[in-house]
Structures are given as C-alpha cells and as structure tokens.
Structure 1
Amino acid sequence: MQPDAYNSRVPRSVGPKIPFVSTPKSRTYVDPHTYEDPNEAIREFAKEIDVSFITIEEVIGGGEFGDVCKGKFRIPAMNIEKDVAIKTLKPDGGDKARSDMLAEASIMGQFDDPNIVSLEGVVTRSNPIMIVTEYMRNGSLDKFLQQNDGMFTILQLIGMMRGVASGMVYLSHISFVHRDLAARNILVNENLVCKVSDFGLSRELEMDRSDYTTKGGKIPVRWTAPEAISYRKFTSASDVWSFGVVMWEILTYGERPYWNWSNQDVIKAVEEGFRLPPTMNYCPKILYQLMLDCWRVERSERPKFIEIVNRLDNLSRNPYLMEDGIALSAIDIDPDHYISPSDLLTVEEWLRSLNLERYTNVFISNGYTQVCHCLPLNHEHLLGLGIVSAVHRKKMLDSLRSPDGYIV
C-alpha cells in the first residue's frame, strides 16, 4: 500500500483508538507436541476446510514449510468470500515438516484475540496441505515500517506498540510463551492494527513451573533476554524483554537491532550492561524508560504486559507526557538549545582535531555530519556506533563539553 493511500484513510492528526483489553476465559494453552498423533491435535483445535472452497491467487512470500499465498476463502453457508493468507506445504516436505506445520496450526487454533492472527482452518485431506489464516494486507511490521519511513505520528507508533502488547496480554494469560517476538513476526492490516503471528518457536509455559527450558535449538539473539540465551529459560518475562526490542524497531522504522554486530558481540555487550540507545528520530524519554524497564536484568523487575498496555494507554490519552523527547536530527535548529561556533564544525574537522579521524565514516554513515548533531550523545550511544574504546569515547565526550556546560 502506498503511504498516501494509507494516510487518506488514517489521518495523521488522529490518534489510535484504544480498545478494551479483555481477560481471556479461564483456560490454559495445550501443547500439541504432547499428542502422539498430530492429526488428533488438528482435529481438536482446527477446522477442516474443503479444498474446493479455497482459491489461490498469487504467491506473496515463502515460509518455513513452503509458499505463502494470497487467496479467497468461500463460505457457502454465509454466502461470503473473504481474502485469506494460505501457507502450503512443499511436496517434498517430509513427515517432520508436515508434523511441524500441523502443530503450528494446532497452536493458532487455540487463540481468539483481536491482536493475534486468526486461523480460518486447515486443508489436510488433499495435497498440498494448507494453513488458512486471515489476510493482513500490509504484511510484516518491519518491512511495512521500512517502506513508510517517517510517515506516522508518535501516537500512531504507540498504537502499533499497544496492539502488540495487547496480543501478548492474551498469550500470557493463557500461559503461552512466544519466544520469537520481533517486528518481522508482527503482521499489519489495512487499518494499522498489529497482530502477533509466527508461532514456530513457541512453547507452552507449564502451570506448575515458572519457566520453560529448551534443549538447544536456534535462538533469535538480538531479541532474546539474557537468561533465555544463557540458560534456555523462556517465560512471559523474556517475551517482555523482546517487546522492548520491538518498541525500538517501531521507533526506528524497522532498523536492525544492534546494527551489524555479530551475535557474540551482542551477547557480550548486553551481559556488560549495554542497552540499545534512544532512537535517532523523536524518542520521548518516557517511552525509552519503558524500553529500559523491559530490559532489566532481573526478570521479576520487568513490567507485566498488562502494565505495559496501561502505560501506553496513559501516553495516548496524555500526549503532553512525551514533550520531553529530543529530536536528535533537529537539535541544530532548536532555538532553545545554545549552539557555540565550535558546534558548527563538521564531524570530520572535529575528529581530526582529536586525532580520531578513523571514526569519520562511522559518524557520517549514521547521520552525524556536524558537531551539533553529536551534542546529545553519551557513552551508550557511542558504544552503539561501534566505538568500543572507552578512552576514545571519553575523549570525544569531554571535547563536547562547552564552557557553558553541556551535559553529555
């Protein structure tokens, strides 16, 4: 969807609607992997669809099991036809791929929440096997933001965060841990409603335990809490950590967390206390504080998802609370910020004067072209740029302190 077309339906001046977050019925998620026969789980949790009711129109992507297509689902009893997304199993997928695909459908079939992608049903009695879900016109959140960089108000961005958090309230209430919460696994519909999807890495949170311990397997390091990386312990609290990273992705319009760092560099930095810095564009301090709360080392100190929803709702109703944000890219034209002549130096001139010109390309490639752009930086920001030498960071920050007392 083109940004102009989107904005004609969702005016930039209008804040997000705030729906009520309902508490799910008193029930607990059942892990389909506990069934000896995956077909039994499918029969219990998913509806079988006659393949004649499905029409595949076009391939829109590729998934773990096969193609992802857009199509139509005809419902004769209601005399309607709706757009759907269709995941198909590769002809040579094998028994394990079939079992995994049916397990994912059995997981989705247990969910019923407006911020979770809904399952329409499955096709298992003919080939290819299909999972049929609601169609989300704008695709994954990360790509949607990248394609519409800078197009939304802060209230609209908060509305996206709120939708994700609301879906996670539901999942946590039914004792389900996602394990792979990231912007790439959030889908967006034509009304900017964000819904949690992709449950391939998910596992249940057993009622008589406070955590779930995996036995190996891939972990999305950039989104994963330290205790989940170190000890393979996944809880709703580790999902909260991941949500903080999703907030950062939303505010950066889909930037890659920790940039081009290796996974080992990310793990080491986080263990040493590094956290993703405030985003380059407008980042209210109160939102960044919520991110930091999600990234607390002690998982018991992280907020619950219902608390996150309440805090985001409070910001939506009281946007003045975000007036302390700093637009880093506009600091050089802010009339309330004093700029000395030295601040108008280019970054190249400044670094050369410090004998640190080796970092010139690092700063320029990240949008810092003048010294005035660097005034809000602190040690965490510089470390985020890849300046690992504490001596060099101190030298840079000391040089940014003017006689008038900039606090950096």
Structure 2
Amino acid sequence: MNPQCSSLTAACPSGHFKVGSGSGGCTSCPDKSNTRIPGSAYCPCLLGYDRADSDPPHAACTRPPSAPRHPVWQLNDTMVTLEWREPLDRGGRGDLSYRLLCSDCGAAGAAGAARALVGSCSPCDDSILYRPSQSGLTQPRIIIWGLRPQTNYIFTIQSLNAVSAVSQSEPASININITTSRDVPPPISGVKRAAASENSLSMKWNPPVLQNQHQVLEYQLRYRRLDDREGLWEYLPSKSSSVVLTGLQRATQYQVQVRAQSQAGYGSFSALSSFSTLPDGAAHSQLVITAVLVSMAMLLLVAAVTAGFICYRKRRRRSARTDKAGHYQMGQTMKVYIDPFTYEDPNEAVREFAKEIDASFVKIEEVIGAGEFGEVCRGRLRIPGRKENYVAIKTLKGGYTEKQRRDFLSEASIMGQFQHPNIIHLEGVITTSCPVMILTEFMENGALDSFLRMNDGQFTTIQLVGMLRGIAAGMKYLSDMSFVHRDLAARNILVNSNLVCKVSDFGLSRFLTENSSDPTYTSSLGGKIPIRWTAPEAIAYRKFTSASDVWSYGIVMWEVMSYGERPYWDMSNQDVINAIEQDYRLPPPPDCPASLHALMLDCWQKERANRPRFCDIVGGLDRLIRNPASLKMTHPELLR
C-alpha cells in the first residue's frame, strides 16, 4: 500500500517520514538516509554521510569530497605556485572548496628530510603570504610567497564542502614536499670551438657536475656578433654538450655563452667567449692585405658604384612594393611605418593611407559592440564592380571635438599602411558625411579571448599553435616596419571563420577607466598601461619596443593555451608587478607542451635584449608544427 494513501491516523512506516502532525502524507527518506522505526519526523543519515548545518531536515545526506588529484608545482626561488585537479568525488555536493596547510621542516638536507618523514615539522609562521587566500579557495590554484631559502616544506591541500565541518573524519588531502632554492647547475666551463667554416661554428663544452643525482635536461647556447653588443641574442637548445651554429657571416667574431638546465631550473651562463668563422688568423690577415691592394687599384670605380648604390637604395626605400596578396616580396626593402602625428595636417595622413568610400556603398545592419569613440556595427559594403562583402564599421559619435576626430581617424592612417594576412585589413573610411566611419574586414568569430572561452577544449594543440604562428607572423611584419603595438593581448586579436588570427586595435589614444574589463595601471609618467600584458621596463619607464611586444606575445601564448584564462588570475595589479620583480612567471596551463612554455619563459626574460625576436618565434613555431611529436611532451606532474 502506498504510504501517502494510508489512514491519517497511521504512523509512517520505516523508510518514510512526516514533518509534524497533521493531515499531510508520508515522504520517502531522501538519498543516503533511512528510518528504522515507524512514525519518524526525519530520516537520520547513513554511516559516513551527514547534513550540513544549513541543510533542511528533508535534504539528502552527503559526505565530504575525496582528495585533490595530480598536484603540480612550480618553484621560483622562494615562491611556489601550486595547481591541482578537483577530486573524483565531490561527495554529492556542489560547494567544493580547498584549504592549504603549510609545515616547515627546517633547513634543507638530511635532517630536514628526516623531520618530514617522521612528521615532526611545525606549522608555518605568519610571515608567509598566500594568494588568493589560504582557505576558502574555489579554484585549484594558489601562490605562496615569503618562504625561507634552502628549507624543506610540506604543503597539504585539503578538499572541503559544507558537511566537512560536521564530519567525524579528517578532510581528504594530498601532500607535496618542496625544498626551496634547490641548487641549479653550476656555470658551464670549457666552451671551445671544435671546428669552423666560413659560415658555421661547431661548439662543445664540459658537462657540469650536478649534486643530489640531478641530471642535465637541456643546454641552451646563445650567440651574437662581437661588433653588435646591443643586438639581440640568438638562442639554440641542445640535448648534448655540443652544437653547430649555422648561417653565420664569413670572417666574423661571435660572442658565445652556454648554460645548463636541470629540474631545479637554469644555471648561470658561462663566461663570455669569442670565436671567429673562417678565414681567421694569418689567413685573414693575408686576405686583408690583398683586399687593400685591390681596393687601391679600383678606388674610383668603387666610389662610383657606391654612390649609385646609395641612390638606388634610397629609391627602393621610398617605393617598397607589395605583391597582389599583400605580402612584401623577398629581397625587397621593407617599408617603414610612418607616424600619422608627424604630419603637420593629420588629415593629410588619412588621405594618403586610407581610401575614401562613398557612404551610399555602405549598409549598416546591426550594432555588435561599443568602441572607444562610438558604436561598432556589422554591415555590407558594395562597391560597383566588386563583390558585396561584410565589413566591421567603427563610428564616431556626434558632438566630437577636432582632437577626437583626429585620434579616431589615426587608427585608419596606421592600419592603411599594413598589408599582411595576419593584420586586420582596412577597407576605407567615410569622412565626408556623418557619422565618420572606419571600415575593416569583418571577422566572424570576434575577439580571440572570448572565442577561446566559448570553445574551451575544442581545438587540437596543432590548431592552437597554428593560431599562435599567425599572430607571431603578423607581429614580425609590424616589427619589420618598426611599428610597436603597445597593447598586444588576446582581446585585440580577431578570428575569422577559418580560424585565421589577425592583429588589430591600432588606436594610439585609449581612454580606459579603472572599472574597465581591461584593468590598467596609471604610470608615474602618465597614461594607462595594461599591467598583465606589459613588460617590466614599459611599466617602470614607458620603454616600449618590439622587445616589450615580445613580452606581451608570451602572455598571449599563455592566454591561448589556457583557452582565454585571465593572466595572473585574480591577483591585483600591484601584486602582479611585485611578483614579476621577484622573478615569478606564469606556470604552464594544463596540457601545455613543455616546448611552448619554454618559449613563453624566453619571452618573459627580464633583460629585453635576451628575449627572442619575432622572426625567431615564427621560426621556432614552424619547427614545432613540422615536428608534431615535439608538442606531445608536457610538463611532468611532479609528486613529492
């Protein structure tokens, strides 16, 4: 018989309950609870399950979550970043959180390790800081600051939910043993030239002697011309204690340094050494003498040829050509970007670099966003004799000042100088009627950061690397033109229907507010800076260069591989600045290939001269794409 249809005077049977007396029927006990006697007003929880204090009596019983899984850590001297995966079992609840316990086991060495083994460590003191907090963590990530160097620590990550407080059992947890400031490899010695040709150097060196059974994971050699000490270093990795440098200049001296990497990180670079390609020494001296004799005999001819060559180069610089596809031709002199604000009349720059379009050719269909100066719309452009196509339209709202109009159109003056498949293409401007408009190609998938968040986990690693390669190619083009972007970020990369990424947002004036979705920092020299994407020297001294764009590109790489995660998560701008000053760098996103994270770290070198150039980045990504197996190795999940 159905207990809800029983006599009003009958007691509820076992396995059912009724809250209070009255005419209401009996209710089956909720999940993980039961009654053993008739007439119960509630159902007690089964062994191992509980109700939280905030749960009503008729709620299902739940249990604490299982332990966190697969902890991964990254150590930067005395700062540690911990990440982990959520428990397999949430206990039947959605209110999962984490708490971190820290134990200090004393100085590194056998004594500290022994204390860790027998559990005689003491709780960490208040000098250690936790970001975002030590307890109540809702994300599986934490940064720990202020640890003592050369010290053993045990970090315990606990999983919690609302019934953990009333449970009789200890929260499920996982432990990680970490020793701060572990010994990195010593400097490399014995760097020498094993062989040489006119355009190559074969280098070798002595492998370092490592302590504590560490192994060398990789060597990194860097080199540059001796007469170009302000130039950027070229970097080469090597698994062995030798490497061949190719593509060098004849009879030229190069500075060379080598360092080793172990699980503890990179050691210091070796002392500077100089080596020359052939011919060198006596052979080089003989060639110099011969060259002097020949040059004296041909002095007038050389002078004439040189003068003609200089004139020819000047003409080519003024008239650098592009092919029909918009690519600059190999062997051509790359044209240099011209700042529109150097024109006495900025309108002249607009007329020179942007095509005026008749307003009757444009049909606005819908508003798709808001820009700095007005609305952003989608529309159709139909120029007689050409196929109709979609365009994005930036409009200048009414009531503008002449300065606002000039700043608005400056972006068109900049964009109109670029022709590259990974740079947003300018269709033209409308300046002779209201509203004033800038028309660009329409990118169906919008901004890269939001596109990745909407498609989390949907792309292969090769697809993501292909996107990064496109962005790097666009930035190489801009760098070659001596243009510094200053605001490279995933939000300023647009994606079309074929997943082609194009660099955009070339406006020079950005009136950002503190409550903007793009948090900024007001520098002491004035102006707003997007801290999370900006190189340290640009934050401190407003020193924007292609090298600072490379730093920003490293952050874009991290954004792409994390599917649009916010860089540095919920850390404040000042915390980000402090962390970078203390050599903290973002850890690899989940499943990020080690080779890509290594490239990110290269982009985040503190010394801008040590960062790779965009041509190096494009070449490196091309090598990874040609060798997909190199993208399968991710950072090991280090369990201690």
Return the TM-score normalized by structure 1: 0.71
Gaps of 5+ in 1: 1-19, 204-212, 329-374, 377-399, 402-408
CA–CA separation in structure 2 for the residues paired with 1:22 and 1:283: 35
* 1:246-261 alignment, distance < 5 Å: 246-261=556-571
Determine the structure 2 residue equivalent to 1:317.
Answer: 626
Task: In structure 1, give the amino acid aligned to 2:449.
Answer: D
CA–CA separation in structure 2 for the residues paired with 1:105 and 1:43: 10
**8 Å CA contact 1:178, 1:201 repeated in 2:** no
Task: In structure 1, give the amino acid aligned to 2:363.
Answer: T
Determine the structure 2 residue equivalent to 1:218.
Answer: 528
Q: Of the candidates 364, 383, 400, which is equivalent to residue 56 of structure 1?
A: 364
CA–CA separation in structure 2 for the residues paired with 1:216 and 1:256: 25
Gap change, CA 1:114 and 1:22, over 3 Å in 2: farther
**8 Å CA contact 2:340, 2:413 repeated in 1:** yes
**8 Å CA contact 2:391, 2:439 repeated in 1:** yes
Gap change, CA 1:274 and 1:116, over 3 Å in 2: same
Task: In structure 1, give the amino acid aligned to 2:381.
Answer: F
Deviation per residue, 1:229-288 (Å, 9 max, x gap): 111101000000000000000001001101111111101100110001111x21111110
* 1:217-236 alignment, distance < 5 Å: 217-236=527-546
CA–CA separation in structure 2 for the residues paired with 1:26 and 1:159: 25
Deviation at 1:97, TM superposition (A): 1.8
Determine the structure 2 residue equivalent to 1:164.
Answer: 471
CA–CA separation in structure 1 for the residues paired with 2:555 and 2:354: 32
Q: Give 1 or 2: higher helix fraction.
A: 1
**8 Å CA contact 2:410, 2:508 repeated in 1:** no
Deviation at 1:99, TM superposition (A): 1.0
CA-based RMSD? 2.1
CA–CA separation in structure 2 for the residues paired with 1:21 and 1:50: 29
**Secondary structure in structure 2 of the residue aligned to 1:93:** coil
* 1:8-407 alignment, distance < 5 Å: 25-78=333-386, 80-201=387-508, 216-279=526-589, 281-326=590-635, 376=638, 401=640
Task: In structure 1, give the amino acid aligned to 2:354.
Answer: A
**8 Å CA contact 1:113, 1:167 repeated in 2:** yes
**Secondary structure in structure 1 of the residue aligned to 2:382:** strand
Deviation at 1:39, TM superposition (A): 1.1
Deviation at 1:33, TM superposition (A): 1.0
Deviation at 1:92, TM superposition (A): 2.3
**8 Å CA contact 1:69, 1:85 repeated in 2:** yes
Task: In structure 2, give the amino acid aligned to 1:261.
Answer: M
**Secondary structure in structure 2 of the residue aligned to 1:60:** strand
Deviation at 1:88, TM superposition (A): 0.3
Task: In structure 2, give the amino acid aligned to 1:63.
Answer: G
Task: In structure 2, give the amino acid aligned to 1:278.
Answer: P
Gap change, CA 1:121 and 1:61, over 3 Å in 2: same
Gap change, CA 1:214 and 1:181, over 3 Å in 2: farther
Which structure has the larger Rg over C-alpha atoms?
A: 2
**8 Å CA contact 2:407, 2:509 repeated in 1:** no
Deviation per residue, 1:159-190 (Å, 9 max, x gap): 01001000001000010000000000000000
**Secondary structure in structure 2 of the residue aligned to 1:92:** coil
CA–CA separation in structure 2 for the residues paired with 1:180 and 1:272: 24
Gaps of 5+ in 2: 1-326, 511-522
**Secondary structure in structure 2 of the residue aligned to 1:176:** coil
Deviation at 1:75, TM superposition (A): 1.3
**Secondary structure in structure 2 of the residue aligned to 1:77:** coil
Deviation per residue, 1:282-301 (Å, 9 max, x gap): 11111100000000011111
**Secondary structure in structure 2 of the residue aligned to 1:177:** coil
**Secondary structure in structure 2 of the residue aligned to 1:274:** coil
CA–CA separation in structure 2 for the residues paired with 1:260 and 1:251: 18
Deviation at 1:21, TM superposition (A): 8.9
Gap change, CA 1:257 and 1:116, over 3 Å in 2: same
Deviation at 1:321, TM superposition (A): 1.1
CA–CA separation in structure 2 for the residues paired with 1:181 and 1:25: 26
Deviation per residue, 1:316-355 (Å, 9 max, x gap): 11011122214x8xxxxxxxxxxxxxxxxxxxxxxxxxxx
The runs of at least 4 aligned residues of structure 1 exceeding 4 Å deviation read: 20-25
CA–CA separation in structure 1 for the residues paired with 2:560 and 2:526: 30
Q: Which moved more, 1:243-252 or 1:194-203?
A: 194-203
Task: In structure 2, give the amino acid aligned to 1:320.
Answer: A
Task: In structure 1, give the amino acid aligned to 2:622.
Answer: D
Structure possessing the higher relative contact order (Cα contacts under 8 Å, 6 or more residues apart): 1
**Secondary structure in structure 2 of the residue aligned to 1:68:** strand
CA–CA separation in structure 1 for the residues paired with 2:328 and 2:524: 31
Gap change, CA 1:49 and 1:32, over 3 Å in 2: same
**8 Å CA contact 1:29, 1:110 repeated in 2:** yes
**8 Å CA contact 2:395, 2:435 repeated in 1:** yes
**8 Å CA contact 1:215, 1:232 repeated in 2:** yes
CA–CA separation in structure 2 for the residues paired with 1:313 and 1:214: 40
Task: In structure 2, give the amino acid aligned to 1:321.
Answer: S
**8 Å CA contact 2:487, 2:533 repeated in 1:** yes
Deviation per residue, 1:357-396 (Å, 9 max, x gap): xxxxxxxxxxxxxxxxxx53xxxxxxxxxxxxxxxxxxxx
Deviation at 1:94, TM superposition (A): 2.4
Aligned residues: 302
Task: In structure 2, give the amino acid aligned to 1:73.
Answer: L
**Secondary structure in structure 1 of the residue aligned to 2:389:** strand
Task: In structure 2, give the amino acid aligned to 1:231.
Answer: Y
Determine the structure 2 residue equivalent to 1:346.
Answer: none
Q: Give 1 or 2: higher strand fraction.
A: 2
